[in-house]
Structure 1
Amino acid sequence: MRNETQGGLSRRQLLAWTGGTALALVLGGRASAATSASLDDFMALSARLLDTPASSLSPGFGEGYFNALISRGFGDALAGLRDGSPASDLESSILGNWYTGVAEIASGEEVVTYPEAMMWNALDFTKPMGWCGGETGYWADAPEGEA
């Protein structure tokens, strides 16, 4: 007696086919996950792009920027950057994130940080709006070391 399903496959063939498909999906998922970038990769890449030590970058802010890029499907592109592939638009986006403190997400923009954004280091003559610079009249005196 032959055990066949309606499509003409035996149970053994069906089990072999589904088992092989499941194995391919599991192994295929691991292979693609292995090529994706990690947060550590992103922090090292950011340090290289910003020409600054990785230890000077906030891991919390980096995680916000990294998650925003991953949510927009840039995992493989980040892995490519990590491995040396050029991607100037993505590099510009990463630099923009760190300098503005804003990350692009699927639904728009998300503020990761405002007062600690790197633009305030570049704009050392000013401060974040709404951020107190000192006591009333502090702006009348020259900064320390300048006269």
Structure 2
Amino acid sequence: MRLSRRKLLATAAFTPFALKAQASSLGADSRIFEAAVRQIGGVVDIPDIMLRAAESEFTRKFGNAARHAFVAAMDGQTIEMAITRAGDQADTLKEQITFITSFLYTGEVQRDNESKTLYYPWCLAWNATGFTKPPGVCGGPAFGHWEHAPWQ
């Protein structure tokens, strides 16, 4: 095929439409995934970093096909309804929901067969303890106020 200036300009005109179509289809899946994560977490004020990380860590652990299946199962469903309607895949769906729950509340992920707390400062466990913040983000240098011993 010989590429002429006319052919190049003709295909360039369609590029924004193709990119927009691709982005909008990805956006719908991400919005459904995000809604499911909020439902699983049980709170609406989940930090954006945790919402995005939940999706990427889910995909890292289970794969892209599993993410699509999870989105299809959760689309417009409560957790209970999705599990009930999952049939043979109910155990897989429960495992995925358990992973998301654990991730949201601990911020832990597996890397090289080892638990890493990569998202610890943003995890939901800190919402349950209103009297403190994560070490390192609560004022002061280094480890923050956590480096000081409690009053006796």
The TM-score range, normalised by the shorter chain, is 0.5 to 0.7
- Counterpart of 1:57 in 2: which secondary structure? coil
Q: Which residue of the partner structure matches residue 102 of structure 1?
A: 108
Partner of 2:70: 78
The match for 1:60 is: 49
Task: Give the distance between the partners of 1:114 and 1:42, measured in 2 at CA.
Answer: 21
Matching residue of 1:132: 144
Return the alpha-carbon distance in structure 2 between the equivalents of residues 101 and 81 of structure 1. Answer: 24
Aligned-pair identity (%): 21
- 1:49 equivalent to 2:55? Answer no
- Residues 137 and 129 (structure 1 numbering): CA distance in 2 closer, same or farther, change over 3 Å? closer
Greater share of residues in helix: 2
Name the larger-Rg structure: 1
Does residue 118 of structure 2 align to residue 118 of structure 1?
Answer: no
Equivalent pair of 2:47/2:122 in contact (CA under 8 Å): no
Q: How many residues align?
A: 105
CA distance in 2, matches of 1:135, 1:111: 19
**C-alpha root-mean-square deviation of aligned residues, in Å?**
3.6
TM-score (norm 2): 0.51
TM-score of the superposed pair, with normalisation by structure 1: 0.53
The alpha carbon displacement at 1:81 in A equals 3.6
